[in-house]
A and B are shown apart, each in its own frame.
Chain A
């Protein structure tokens, strides 16, 4: 199942792994439907244009830096890590003061030497926006969503991620009500790093589980 990669599109395509799958026609139609729906909801008083703008701004202000802070703290603080894995939202809100009131349930799953987790949403595009920001385009693509549950090792390999034989790959399929984030393994060579420096090496893709963090060399 090769990823369709035509270049008849004009959006940002910086990520080499980003599959492009929607034809121009479907994108244009989506834009028209979105506009019609938005104008109808505003006309019916479901929300105001101002409320919508506020919500968009709030969503777009979230970045994977929040998730990276969570990961770094979990690496240096075993008590926080235990709380995080058991009950992520209160742990994150209390310890890191990241506001999660408006967001769905959040579950953090830990990658270990024996098990590698990778997150997807086969139904649509559910994603832990509160801690990772806006999802990458490939996460929402039908190719990623369907292939990662069928051939996760192959999909991970396309991200340059080799998972050793014998390591269980667990594909975690989300819903709108519960979002998942991966706690990646702390890479070698980071023993001397402080929490802020650790946060700086944590990437969005590692928190989705499509990559592992490389060893840090001085």
Chain B
């Protein structure tokens, strides 16, 4: 987790003419290339902005 951008209306709800409330936290999550694509990516990281309800809690004690 690299950054918390703030709270925004749920974009999936907005797409269906709903209000998207309560607002949902939007995080920037940085993934090493291998974690996304399964092979080494030659020093590449992917920083994706992901809303909280699109994330699942890691099974381990300390999530990413």
Contact of A175 with B42 in the complex, beta carbons under 8 Å: no
CB contact under 8 A between A170 and B8, given known A150-B37, A178-B26: no
- Measured CB to CB, the nearest residue on chain B to A164 is B43
Q: Which of B5, B37, B47 contacts A105 (CB 8 A)?
A: B5
A180 to chain B, nearest CB (A): 9
Contact yes or no, B11 A167, CB < 8 A: no
B44 in the interface, Cβ–Cβ < 8 Å?
yes
* Binary per-residue interface labels of chain A (163-179) against chain B in the complex, 1 for a CB within 8 Å, 0 otherwise: 00111111111111110
Q: Tell whether, in the assembled complex, residue B26 and residue A168 are in contact, meaning their CB atoms are under 8 Å apart.
A: no
Q: How large is the interface on B (under 10, 10 to 19, 20 to 34, 35 or more residues)?
A: 10 to 19
By beta carbon, the residue of chain A nearest B44 is A169
Contact between A171 and B11, CB atoms less than 8 A apart: no
Contact A175 B49 (CB under 8 A): yes
Assess A170 versus B46: contact at CB under 8 Å? Given A150-B37, A176-B11, A178-B26: yes
Digitize A129-158: 1 where CB-to-B-CB distance is under 8 Å, 0 elsewhere.
000000000000000000001101100000
Q: Specify which chain A residues have a CB less than 8 angstroms from the CB of B59 in the assembled complex.
A: none
**Min CB distance, B24 to chain A, in Å?**
10
For the complex, is A76 an interface residue (Cβ under 8 Å from B)? Answer: no
Nearest-neighbor residue (CB-CB) of A179 within chain B: B49
Kindly state whether residue A107 has any CB partner on chain B within 8 Å: yes
Looking at the complex, which one of B5, B26, B43, B51 makes contact with A169 (CB distance below 8 Å)?
Answer: B43
The 5 closest A-B pairs by CB, nearest first: A173-B48, A177-B8, A175-B49, A172-B47, A169-B44
- 5 further contact pairs, Cβ within 8 A, besides A105-B5, A149-B46: A166-B43, A168-B43, A170-B30, A177-B11, A177-B49
